[in-house]
Copies of this chain bind each other. A is one copy, B any other.
Amino acid sequence: MREISYRPIGVIHSPFNEPKGVPIQPSAAKGVRGTVEVFPEYASGLKDIEGFSHIILIYHFHLVEPGKLLVRPYMDDEEHGVFATRAPSRPNPIGISIVRLIGVDGNVLHIEDVDIVDGTPLLDIKPYVPKFDIRRVERTGWLEQNVHKLPEAKDDGRFVKG
């Protein structure tokens, strides 16, 4: 099937210079600050974003090896299908992080709870809206017994481009 091409609309900046050591979810990166630099030609798309306390960043995992279908995720020793994990190494290495928006300064967003490597290309920004994005969930599969490991789990570099 045909390829789908996107262009980065900006770059994410964070204190993390490499994948190793990065918290593996925003909920494990409380208080970590960063910025989103939206390229000037897209800046007018930010109008009214300052009204939202949380935003969804969609980005490209530019440092990972894509394409694995079975992965051993950070929080389990067993292999799982990549689509049943949030591992960054996936056929299309698209990342999602819900971060706190603490301020807007022209084309720069100041954000908190950042679990993203510095220099990551940004594809899209969406406002996070409870009515759209919060579900009552009954089952979380293999993660149910493992999610308590989140605060200690860090990226150990296992999915980095070789």
**Stretch from A14-22, A82-90, A154-162 at the B interface:** A82-90
| Residues B45 and A70 in contact, CB atoms below 8 Å apart | yes
Q: How far is the CA of A50 from the CA of B137 in the complex (A)?
A: 13
* Nearest Cβ on chain B to A70's Cβ, whole angstroms: 6
Question: Which of B27, B49, B83, B138 contacts A132 (CB under 8 A)?
Answer: B27
A-B contact pairs, 29 of them (CB 8 A): A1-B7, A1-B8, A1-B121, A3-B5, A4-B60, A6-B94, A25-B131, A27-B132, A44-B81, A45-B83, A45-B91, A47-B84, A49-B84, A51-B139, A51-B142, A52-B140, A53-B137, A58-B92, A83-B124, A83-B126, A85-B126, A86-B127, A86-B129, A91-B124, A94-B123, A127-B140, A130-B137, A130-B140, A131-B143
| Residues A5 and B5 in contact, CB atoms below 8 Å apart | yes
Residue A56 interfacial (CB < 8 Å): yes
| Residues A84 and B135 in contact, CB atoms below 8 Å apart | no
What chain B residues lie within 8 Å of A134 (beta carbons)? 133-134
| Residues B70 and A4 in contact, CB atoms below 8 Å apart | no
* Contact-residue bracket for chain A: 35 or more
Residue A46 interfacial (CB < 8 Å): yes
What chain B residues lie within 8 Å of A129 (beta carbons)? 86, 137, 140, 143, 147
* Nearest Cβ on chain B to A152's Cβ, whole angstroms: 14
What chain B residues lie within 8 Å of A84 (beta carbons)? 45-49, 51-52, 127
| Residues A86 and B53 in contact, CB atoms below 8 Å apart | no
- A52-B139, A98-B135 known; A81 and B123 CB under 8 Å? no
